[in-house]
Amino acid sequence: MANLKEVRDRIKTVQNTQQITKAMKMVSAAKLRRAQTAIVQMRPYANKLNQMLRNILANLESGASNVFGQERPVQEACVVVVTSSRGLAGAFNTNIIKAAIETINTNFAEQRKSGNLTLVFIGKKGYDFFRKRYTDVKMVTDYINLFDDLSFENVATVSQKLMDSFEHGTYDRIDVAYGQFKNAATQFTIFEQFLPVPKVEADNDKTLKANYIFEPNKEELLEYLVPTIIQTTFHKYVLDTHASEHGARMTAMDKATENAEELLRDLKISYNKARQEAITNEILEIVGGAAALESN
């Protein structure tokens, strides 16, 4: 009977866990719909603006307007790690962290060795990992809670500070590690150069360079246009990661619910076997006792 009680307790525990995973799946599905709508509507606009920006910077002469496209020797490097602030999203955060580590070790090993590498964190999971293992780099945690407010104005304050740091020479290169959303079941890990803005390469890029006619004033227009496009690109990084997080969590909770159902099925079979065994033992005891009385 003790075995029966143990199996019943396990069944109850799994059922409670299954209720939690079902609820989390429903919550993530609702949040995913909003996040997916935001990134799907934004991505074509942001990609087209980024393509136009790369064309513009490739055709500008050196000057203040072209500062965000000027490449220089990388003495100080910055890596922005965009992860979620909560777990239970499968391997989503782990994949972003792995991509960041691989690129740091490949592209910024010298900067890290000399103490000239800065990590900027958006979301808590990336910071929780790196703060224990990368004690030799500078860390910025001012934007960990950025996902609490994903309005363009709020996200633009972060990208503007990064742009100011690049313009003033605090950083010579800024890269971003984030999750790119495809659908609820598929998210890609991307490590992309943010600043300086990569220029169009005629041999490697299908996009042809284009000369633009600026009206009314080239300098005034570019002074507003270039920073806005860069801010829009950064906003896309954050929205992509936000949608990817909820897609990954919904998929993970759906799989956890299915696994709980399979475990319940096995436990119920074990319970029925144990119950039948207990009943059989009781019958045998009764029959044995009756036989003993008859023999007396």
Q: What is the pLDDT of residue 273?
A: 85
Q: Which stretches of the chain are DSSP H helices?
A: 2-59, 92-107, 109-113, 124-133, 152-167, 218-295
6 is a domain residue: no
83 is a domain residue: yes
Q: Which stretches of 136-186 are DSSP H helices?
A: 152-167
243: Cα separation from own chain's centroid: 8
How many Å apart are CA 24 and CA 244, to the nearest integer? 15
CATH number at residue 129: 3.40.1380.10
- Residues 6+ positions from 120 with CB-CB distance below 8 Å: 78, 79, 80, 81, 139, 140, 143, 162
- H or E stretch covering 183: strand 173-183
281 is a domain residue: no
> What is the tens place of the pLDDT at every residue in 151-179?
999 999 999 999 999 999 999 999 999 99
The four Cα atoms 226, 228, 233, 238 give a dihedral, to 10 degrees, of 150
pLDDT more than 70, % of the chain: 91
Enclosing domain of residue 113: 35-253
Token pair for 235: 């906003």
Residue 258: pLDDT band (50, 70, 90) is: very high
164 is a domain residue: yes
68 is a domain residue: yes
285 is a domain residue: no
269 is a domain residue: no
27 is a domain residue: no
Domain count, the chain: 1
> What is the tens place of the pLDDT at every residue in 95-130?
999 999 998 999 999 999 999 999 999 999 999 999
DSSP 51-63: HHHHHHHHHPPSS
Of residues 247 and 205, which shows the higher confidence score? 247
